[in-house]
Chains A and B, each alone.
Chain A
Amino acid sequence: MGRLILRRLLATVPVLLLVTAGVFTLIHLTPGDPIDVMMAESIDATVKENLRRELGMDRPLYIQYAAWMGRLLQGDLGRSIRNREPVIENVSRRIRPSLQLAGLAMAISLIIATPIGILSAARRNTSVDRFGTSFALFGICMPNFLLALLLIFFFGVKLRWLPISGYTDPLEEPWLGLRSLVLPAVTLGLALGAVITRTLRSSMLEALSEDYVRTARAKGLSEWSVIRGHVLKNALIPVVTVLGLQLGTLIGGAVITEYVFALPGVGRLVVDAVFARDYPLVQGVVLLIAVGFILSNLLVDLLYGWIDPRIRYR
């Protein structure tokens, strides 16, 4: 197991190289530069030139990339152009809200999806199933920003139950913090829950048609025992796959949700960085998001083996 993890981690190195090189090229090819954005209302061309030189932006691209890689190998992600703060500080401050949001959203999605998915499959083609499928369709079709604004309108403006924007760290002030995360987490959790509902339902249906289910039923087990003991675990593989991919996306930033709720997370950070053409910051965040994806996929692969012993890694 230890060797497997090590091998997988080593295999990520070329992936990361490709990702950084790709992002570096793309962001530099995009028209517009950070100095213009910073000094939109200033006229002094020499100041702009000084800044450009100071930031090393007057050098050829491949040298800039090499310099960036060189610093990266020493653990230095560089400094944000816009606020001159080390990228690592920017990112580490922003990762916490994003992780909390991702965790809470995932929990909410599972709480919604597990019963609905199971019931939909077990009571296939009944009104329960139709309700479940409609719910999933609604969750998938509803754009995040619209759902967010509706939630804000009802629970924030009309009922005034929950704060509608901003962030408090739940680790410092649990009650306030949790309240500030509820609406964004529900926004994300509902959409994710819908996807998981559908996945769970279809993989359950597949498992329900297997021979071992017929055997179990023939032994006289109750339907609930069949589902709990035989179907559910086997139906979990696709669900775990979806969850793993979604976790990467959530950590990488649920951009729109963070934007609407003014949550200081990674998603908003990277969008602002792109708009400001803040090259080092964009690079740093993308690197982090890539690592997040790779780790969550690794986690998924390990879970496969645990859920279904037939899946073995050599």
Chain B
Amino acid sequence: MPGTTRDENPREVSRRNFLRISALASAGLASGVSAVPALAQTAPKKGGTLRVGFYLEASTMDPHLSGSKVDRQIYHNIYEPLITLDTNLGLKPGLAESWQQPDAKTLILKLRRGVKFHDGTDFNAEVAKFNFNRMKTEPKSVRKGETASIDTVDVMDAYTIKINLRRPDAALLATLTDRAGMMISPKVIQERGSELERNAKGAGTGPFEFVEWIKDDHLIIKRNESYWNKQGGPYLDRIRYRPIPDDTVKLQSLQSGEIDVIDYVQPRDVAAVKADKNVAVLDVPSLAAFAYQLNQTRPPFNNKALRQAVAYAIDTEQIVKGVWLNVGIPANGPVPPTSWAYDKTIPPIKRDLAKAKAKLAEGGKPTGFPFTITTANIPINIQEVEVIQAQLAEAGMQVKVKLVDAATQLSDGNSKNFDMISYQWSGRPDPDGNIYQFFRTTPGMSLNWSGISNPHIDALLDKTREASSREERKKLYSELTRILQDELPMVYIVHPIEPKAFSLKVQGYEPVPDGMMRFRTVWLK
């Protein structure tokens, strides 16, 4: 189990015992096997303020309008999606108690009774319908893409809705575990409208209620005293989020006791934090991927052999070891190891200089060729690209590096103004979210920067959405992954681990590999 059990010695494990790490052991690769949570924890108790440090400021409090990952960290404590994820990324009931799919184009959800929004509004089928309509029709809605397969929503009875699909969408249930499934009080939307973007008072049903948000300084939520689920929290009185943009300072704030949790530890800091007895680190495997897109719409990478030459010249193992310091796993394609669709029989592409040179000759460039790698001006990206530059040079490829800020990287990618460009994807629980929009031919697929357009791949991608069983989908994803590792519109490097760090006071945290920090079960010693 590369990565997940790295560096674990008995002392360290015992130090971490207070955290429920059972999920992790299984979440890595052997999904389904759940370790025994034989943990020496204190009994849960109510009270206290949890102070959370994270790197970015939230952008909006309205889940239907949010396009940034950091917002979700907060949403999952205020709002609740219809379906939620367990620690193995399996689907479990959220605001929907159960669901059934009578046919490929119909989804029936039985909603939970007795759930109230923080403003007292009852949650029911009409409310769910209202939310779907808003996601589909509100002009500023960012959820239109995710809900595109939904045609209409019918209210069957007060607590049952029927979702009629335009086309089969096997990934929809997983999509409903995040913002597209989050329910907002219609009263808040009707009475306060766009004010919701800044003030989520009363808007959710979740274990915590919004209190205040002072931009760039703090955001406070408090315990929802009338939360519907009486088991397992919420225990904390309050949670105080603080954006701390500098990674080093964020970590030091944790070490000096100013905050209790940080959302991410940089690979370079992991060893030092693990050596600190006052801090516990949890290696949470993620759904994320670091990769490079190769521009197929122009030379040199419209030539498949040259794309393969690049892939064979890159030593992913060395990069994961040297740059990522093993805080990640070499990637074998778009499906992360945390996913049920991960196929461990597909090996990551191994470095093979002889093969790389043969591919160069096959591509008509036996002596190599020059090209540019565009990447974001972030330390780990720069390190990675420098290693790649050296590795490619050994195979005779002369690489120039263009460092840009994130906005320029996005615009270069969208306008296909690059040869090879770095791409970071935070990942989605269903493999569809990590594959479809990157490789499907559709004008306006804005994540398909490589410009790949392959009828065989398109047909397979569509099949994955229509297939009803997981086994069938898994087979299709394996087939796709093998084709993609040969066609190489993207060279996948690493599935990072996203370590989170805690003060020893924090108890009962349950990590979900989507990286979101859910604090319902957390209490302070």
Contacts of A90 in B (CB 8 A): 215
B141 to chain A, nearest CB (A): 7
In the complex, chain A residues 46-71 whose Cβ is within 8 Å of any chain B Cβ: 46-48, 50-51, 54
Q: Which of B148, B243, B414 contacts A262 (CB 8 A)?
A: B243
A264 to chain B, nearest CB (A): 4
Whether A165 contacts B249 in the complex (CB less than 8 A), given A46-B144, A83-B197, comes out as yes
A186 to chain B, nearest CB (A): 15
Q: Which of A41, A51, A260, A264 contacts B246 (CB 8 A)?
A: A260
Complex Cα–Cα for A48 and B406 (A): 18
Asked if B252 and A42 sit within 8 Å, CB to CB, the answer is no
Contacts of B444 in A (CB 8 A): 43-46
Q: Is the interface of B mostly helix, strand, loop or mixed?
A: loop
User: Digit string of A22-55 for contact with B (CB within 8 Å is 1, else 0)?
Assistant: 0000000011111011111111111110110010
User: Digit string of B215-257 for contact with A (CB within 8 Å is 1, else 0)?
Assistant: 1111000000000000000000000001111101110110111
Whether A85 contacts B67 in the complex (CB less than 8 A), given A275-B405, A275-B406, comes out as no
Q: Which of A37, A42, A268, A276 contacts B145 (CB 8 A)?
A: A42
Contacts of B258 in A (CB 8 A): 156, 163-166
Asked if B194 and A84 sit within 8 Å, CB to CB, the answer is yes
Complex Cα–Cα for A284 and B244 (A): 24
In the complex, chain A residues 162-185 whose Cβ is within 8 Å of any chain B Cβ: 163-167
Q: Which of B144, B215, B242, B437 contacts A83 (CB 8 A)?
A: B215
Answer whether residue B412 sits at the interface, using C-beta atoms and an 8 A cutoff: yes
Answer whether residue B299 sits at the interface, using C-beta atoms and an 8 A cutoff: no
User: Digit string of B9-45 for contact with A (CB within 8 Å is 1, else 0)?
Assistant: 0000000000000000000000000000000000000
Whether A43 contacts B249 in the complex (CB less than 8 A), given A30-B408, A37-B407, A38-B68, comes out as no
Q: Which of A34, A47, A152, A167 contacts B141 (CB 8 A)?
A: A47
Contacts of B141 in A (CB 8 A): 47
Answer whether residue A261 sits at the interface, using C-beta atoms and an 8 A cutoff: yes
Complex Cα–Cα for A93 and B464 (A): 50
Complex Cα–Cα for A48 and B410 (A): 14
Q: Which of B139, B253, B437 contacts A164 (CB 8 A)?
A: B253
Q: Which of A36, A54, A166 contacts B217 (CB 8 A)?
A: A166
A43 to chain B, nearest CB (A): 5
Answer whether residue B142 sits at the interface, using C-beta atoms and an 8 A cutoff: yes
Asked if B59 and A82 sit within 8 Å, CB to CB, the answer is yes
Answer whether residue A226 sits at the interface, using C-beta atoms and an 8 A cutoff: no
What residue in chain B is nearest A51 (Cβ atoms)?
B140
Report the interface size class on chain B: 35 or more
Answer whether residue B198 sits at the interface, using C-beta atoms and an 8 A cutoff: yes
Complex Cα–Cα for A51 and B67 (A): 13
Whether A42 contacts B407 in the complex (CB less than 8 A), given A156-B256, A164-B256, comes out as no
Q: Which of B67, B218, B406, B408 contacts A39 (CB 8 A)?
A: B67
Asked if A157 and B252 sit within 8 Å, CB to CB, the answer is yes
Answer whether residue A198 sits at the interface, using C-beta atoms and an 8 A cutoff: no
Asked if B59 and A83 sit within 8 Å, CB to CB, the answer is yes
Contacts of A50 in B (CB 8 A): 139-140
Asked if B410 and A32 sit within 8 Å, CB to CB, the answer is yes
Q: Which of B59, B218, B243, B404 contacts A38 (CB 8 A)?
A: B59
Contacts of A33 in B (CB 8 A): 407, 411
Contacts of A164 in B (CB 8 A): 249, 252-253, 256, 258
Asked if B215 and A39 sit within 8 Å, CB to CB, the answer is no
What residue in chain A is nearest B427 (Cβ atoms)?
A41
Contacts of B257 in A (CB 8 A): 160
A197 to chain B, nearest CB (A): 28
Whether A264 contacts B145 in the complex (CB less than 8 A), given A54-B140, A277-B407, comes out as no
What residue in chain A is nearest B51 (Cβ atoms)?
A166
Answer whether residue B426 sits at the interface, using C-beta atoms and an 8 A cutoff: yes
Answer whether residue B387 sits at the interface, using C-beta atoms and an 8 A cutoff: no
Complex Cα–Cα for A271 and B445 (A): 30
What residue in chain B is nearest A166 (Cβ atoms)?
B242
Partner-A contacts on B (CB < 8 A):
57, 59-60, 67-69, 139-142, 144-145, 148, 194, 197-198, 214-218, 242-246, 248-250, 252-253, 255-258, 404-412, 414, 425-426, 437, 443-447
Nearest 5 A/B pairs, CB to CB: A32-B407, A45-B444, A264-B216, A44-B145, A39-B67
Having A43-B437, A83-B197, one finds 7 other A-B pairs with CB under 8 Å, namely A30-B408, A40-B67, A47-B145, A50-B140, A83-B60, A164-B252, A275-B407
